[in-house]
């Protein structure tokens, strides 16, 4: 139940809660992470009307800025107003109609989420599964596509529940050969690991700001191929209150969500400027600045920084005598899974990290709940000193909890690992 508003005995009206003043925590979990100061400053800029020429100019700039972030030349590169999950749901509900056959690549909690959303849409779903901590091979995917004959193949790039990154090179070619569209959830990797929508030949990719992009949750960047755009516009049914003579309805089944109807959202982001909804202005400012920060750093340099942070974190925890979870060959660079040692209360460690050091690390889901910590280093927090501070705090807490850790070994190992040269694309 929400707290009741306190009443002053001397007044007939309620008193007010205090101004929000959150603790200055270092967010080193699987996301969200601390936002870049430039992004927070951008969010404080004045609001504009949604069709003000300055505002529509910013919208066009956002489209241009996110094309290189997604590794694409797709015209339809824009934002869905809402958290990363809004982008996922908008993509799936706009690509998939009830009864459509969808193959889901499942190797963690967020593959299961895709099936959950598709089930609500009424899709006919089949999954191709890998144990948590592993990924799928291209041969496994090809066999499943040939057997099932899907209209859409849906995948997660990096699943923070398992800390694994699914290789996607070749996925698009398999889908196109089978006449299927492809969808990729890149919430956890956009801005931290290379996305190559065009080279992978995938049709729709969605992301979020709150992880490697170094922004707040609340805006979902999306890119859509021309092939997928044609399929979406074939289902266009403009709501009756904003029908226009210059926008024709499609012939396909109506998209089941109004808010997440990408046919109308794309008309909103086009020169038609369909009055679908009021753009989340401050979040657009945030998304714009996230992309500017990433591109000014340089994407190869940014990916290398995330790889160094992940490499240092995993080296540090191993030097403390802890075991890293999952297949090293396919580890995400920005999140490290750490097995909780026998006899150690994982939640007590997390609480002491937060209360004694103002550092947040993550717990886990499903079969890994209570078995691993998930320690992130991404976006504004993928920095050497933040990795070192986290490892030093973790060592202090573990020693206080009775685990014999080699003194200073985690920090020393992380420092040594940070500067190692590692071939692009290799696991951290």
Ordered by where they begin, the domains of the chain are 37-294 (3.40.640.10), 300-418 (3.90.1150.10)
Among residues 286, 262, 287, the alpha carbon closest in space to that of 276 is found at 262
Structure tokens at 421: 């040269």
Task: Indicate whether 402 pLDDT > 80.
Answer: yes
CA atoms within 13 A on the CB side of 109: 12
- pLDDT, residue 8, reads 54
With bands split at pLDDT 50, 70 and 90, how would you rate the model's confidence at 301? very high
Taken in order 415, 416, 417, 423, the sign of the CA dihedral is positive
Task: Indicate whether 11 pLDDT > 90.
Answer: no
Do β-strands 181-185 and 152-156 pair in parallel, antiparallel, or remain unpaired?
parallel
Average pLDDT over residues 177-198: 98
Prediction pTM value: 0.93
With bands split at pLDDT 50, 70 and 90, how would you rate the model's confidence at 319? very high
Mean pLDDT for the chain? 95
CA dihedral 229, 148, 194, 326 (to 10 degrees): 150
| pLDDT tens digits along 240-253 | 999 999 999 999 99
Task: Indicate whether 10 pLDDT > 80.
Answer: no
With bands split at pLDDT 50, 70 and 90, how would you rate the model's confidence at 406? very high
Task: Indicate whether 12 pLDDT > 90.
Answer: no
């Amino acid at each position: 139940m929400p707290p009741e508003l306190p009443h002053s005995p001397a007044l007939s009206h309620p008193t007010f809660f205090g101004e929000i003043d959150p603790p200055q925590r270092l967010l080193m979990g699987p996301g969200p992470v601390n936002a870049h100061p430039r992004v927070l400053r951008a969010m404080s800029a004045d609001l504009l009307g949604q069709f003000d020429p300055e505002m529509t100019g910013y919208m066009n700039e956002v489209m241009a800025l996110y094309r290189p972030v997604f590794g694409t030349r797709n015209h339809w590169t824009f934002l869905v107003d809402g958290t990363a999950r809004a982008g996922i749901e908008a993509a799936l509900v706009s690509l998939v109609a009830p009864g459509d056959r969808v193959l889901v690549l499942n190797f963690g909690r967020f593959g299961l989420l895709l099936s959950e959303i598709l089930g609500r849409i009424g899709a006919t779903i089949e999954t191709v599964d890998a144990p948590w901590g592993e990924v799928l091979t291209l041969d496994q995917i090809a066999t499943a596509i040939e057997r099932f004959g899907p209209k859409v193949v849906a995948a997660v790039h990096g699943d923070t529940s398992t800390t694994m990154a699914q290789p996607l090179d070749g996925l698009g070619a398999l889908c196109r050969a089978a006449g299927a569209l492809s969808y990729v959830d890149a919430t956890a990797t956009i801005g931290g690991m290379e996305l190559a929508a065009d080279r992978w030949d995938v049709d729709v990719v969605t992301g979020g700001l709150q992880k490697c992009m170094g922004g707040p949750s609340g805006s979902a960047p999306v890119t859509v191929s021309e092939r997928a755009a044609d399929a979406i516009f074939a289902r266009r049914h403009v709501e009756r209150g904003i029908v226009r003579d210059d926008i024709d309805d499609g012939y396909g089944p109506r998209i089941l969500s109004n808010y997440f109807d990408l046919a109308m959202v794309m008309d909103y982001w086009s020169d038609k400027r369909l009055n679908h909804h009021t753009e989340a202005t401050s979040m657009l400012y945030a998304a714009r600045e996230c992309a500017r920060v990433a591109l000014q750093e340089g994407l190869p340099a940014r990916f290398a920084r995330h790889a160094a942070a992940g490499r240092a974190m995993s080296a540090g925890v191993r030097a403390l005598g802890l075991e890293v979870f999952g297949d090293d060959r396919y580890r995400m660079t920005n999140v490290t899974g750490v097995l909780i040692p026998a006899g150690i209360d994982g939640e007590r460690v997390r609480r002491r990290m937060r209360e004694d050091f103002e550092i947040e690390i993550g717990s886990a889901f499903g079969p890994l709940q209570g078995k691993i910590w998930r320690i992130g280093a991404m976006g504004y927090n993928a920095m050497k000193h933040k990795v070192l501070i986290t490892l030093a705090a973790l060592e202090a807490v573990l020693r206080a909890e009775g685990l014999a850790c080699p003194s200073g070994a985690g920090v020393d190992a992380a420092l040594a690992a940070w500067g190692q040269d590692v071939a692009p694309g290799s696991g951290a």
